[in-house]
Amino acid sequence: MKIGIVGCGQVGASGAYACVLRGVGTELVLIDRNEALAQAQAEDILHATPFSTPMTVRAGTFEDLDGAGIVVIAAGAAQKTGETRLDLLKRNADIFSDIIPRIFNAAPDAVLLIASNPVDVMTQMVASIAQKSHNIHASRIIGSGTILDTARFRALLASHLGISSHSVHAYVLGEHGDSEVLHWSGALVGTIPLTNFAAQVGAVVTQQIRDQVDEGVRRAAYRIIQGKGATWFGIGAGIARLAQAVIGNENALITCSTPTFNVAEGLGPVSLSYPRIINAHGIVQTLVPEMSDGEKELLSRSAHILAEAAAEIGVDDIVEASVAA
């Protein structure tokens, strides 16, 4: 399957590189307004294929997305030191309103994977443009959402417990950002509840440990941005994992973002992350996990923050202008 990647900065390039290493797709087309960057990234990644999976990797234009089954959107302004993801809204909304119609015109049958921040509001905007301009259902618009936050959660819990992160099953729900909700009440190790497992292996999860893990997950991006300017390896791997689930028609359960109804009283659809089943058609089902009352309240708060952010920059007006154009 041909995969297009729009935006060839560190995130887009890392996603392409992870696809090559995992053997996801048969052809990668890299697109960027900086054509020299797209060409350089494509050439560099192509040189990794003899050590991983043979596939075509090339730079291209939006017209070269014709026939693509997946298009990854990693374009947009980068998050600056001290800047929240929601601060990026206005800058990246303007960029998206230009490129989304060009993608749909070239690849109307593609599943779109959104990685640009703030990913939840960007996903909501793309889904609205897709539905209104091309009659494309929101199930084919997948925001990376908390796929990375969930990975961080599992990695930190695994480190504390001294086990493989593949054996930890725990989700981060809601916003990919400051209001995200770590779903502690549903965390499992294998099929054993977290607290039970932790007690048996002598690694009790105290409130202090919970606070440390929460800080480790919630503030990870800020620390990484402070140290090296941006995050890219983790989300690059997450992009490849989502693409793999689509190409393999896996029916995989992954936390990701898409417009969601009935999250909080008084709100319309808002894009945020729940565990969702993903296959060749995109998102085919959303699972609502059992949550404590406190987690439900935090998730409702997260939904309201995202809805207010979308309203503040006028997502509906941007969508209407994009469709009219």
C-alpha span between 281 and 278 (Å, rounded): 7
Asked if residue 213 is part of any domain, the answer here is yes
Instruction: Measure the CA–CA gap between 250 and 227, rounded to whole angstroms.
Output: 36
- Pairing type for strands 188-189 and 192-193 reads antiparallel
Quickly state the pLDDT bin for 120 (edges 50, 70, 90).
very high
Across residues 245-254, what is the average pLDDT? 98
Domain boundary among 110, 145, 180: 145
User: What is the count of structural domains for the chain?
Assistant: 2
Q: Give the side-chain half-sphere CA count within 13 A for 292.
A: 10
| Cα–Cα distance, 246 to 278 (Å, whole number) | 6
Residue 139 shares a structural domain with residue 202: no
- Domain assignment present for 120: yes
Residues 43 and 157 in one domain: no
Among 145, 160, 179, residue at a domain's last position: 145
Q: Share the mean pLDDT of the chain.
A: 93
Query: CA 151, 273, 266: angle at the middle one, nearest 5?
Result: 155
Do 126 and 175 reside in the same domain of the chain?
no
CATH code: domain of residue 122: 3.40.50.720
Q: Is 204 within the bounds of a domain? A: yes
| 242 inside domain | yes
Are 208 and 253 in the same domain? Answer: yes
- Is the pLDDT reported for residue 278 higher than 70? yes
pLDDT of 193 > 70? The answer is: yes
Taking CA atoms, 323 is separated from 126, 130, 319, 320, in Å, by: 11, 9, 6, 5
Is pLDDT at 79 greater than 90 in this prediction?
Answer: no
- Find the domain containing 14 and state its range: 2-145
pLDDT bucket at 324, cuts 50 / 70 / 90: low
Rounded average pLDDT over 282-305? 96
Judge whether residue 89 has pLDDT over 90: no
Is residue 235 within 8 A of residue 11, CB to CB? The reply is yes
Q: Which pLDDT value is given to residue 88?
A: 67
d(CA 130, CA 132): 6
Other residues' Cβ atoms within 10 Å of the Cβ of residue 256: 30
User: Is residue 206 packed enough to be buried (19+ CB in 10 Å), middle (13-18) or exposed (0-12)?
Assistant: exposed
Q: Check if the beta carbon of residue 72 is closer than 8 Å to that of residue 42.
A: no
DSSP 8-state symbol, 174: B
Same domain flag for 23 and 158: no
The mean per-residue pLDDT over the stretch 97-101 comes to: 85
Tell me if 124 is assigned to some domain. yes
**74, exposed or middle or buried, with CB in 10 Å at 0-12, 13-18, 19+?**
buried
- Give residue 285's Cα distance to chain centre: 17
| Percent of the chain whose pLDDT exceeds 70 | 94
Helix (H) or strand (E) holding 143: strand 141-143
Assess whether 118 and 180 both reside in one domain.
no
pLDDT at 84: 64
Domain-located, residue 226:
yes
pLDDT, one tens digit per residue, over 211-223 is 999 999 999 999 9
Lowest mean pLDDT among 92-96, 276-280, 319-323: 319-323
Closest CA to 224 of 34, 74, 11, 38: 11
38, 101: one domain: yes
317 domain-assigned: no
Active-site position among 134, 137, 160, 176? 176
134 in active site: no
Whether 52 and 132 share a structural domain: yes
Please tell me which residue, 261 or 181, carries the higher pLDDT value: 181
Higher-confidence residue of 318 and 248: namely 248
Kindly report, residue by residue over 53-76, the tens digit of the pLDDT. Answer: 999 999 999 999 999 999 999 998
Domain assignment present for 113: yes
pLDDT at 85: 55
Claim to verify: residue 46 and residue 160 sit in the same structural domain = no
Q: How far apart are CA 115 and CA 59, in angstroms?
A: 19
Do 129 and 157 belong together in one domain?
A: no
* CATH code for the domain in which residue 290 is found: 3.90.110.10
11 and 31, same structural domain?
A: yes
β partners of residue 51: none
Q: Which of 128, 145, 162 is the last residue of a domain?
A: 145
Are both 154 and 290 inside the same structural domain?
yes
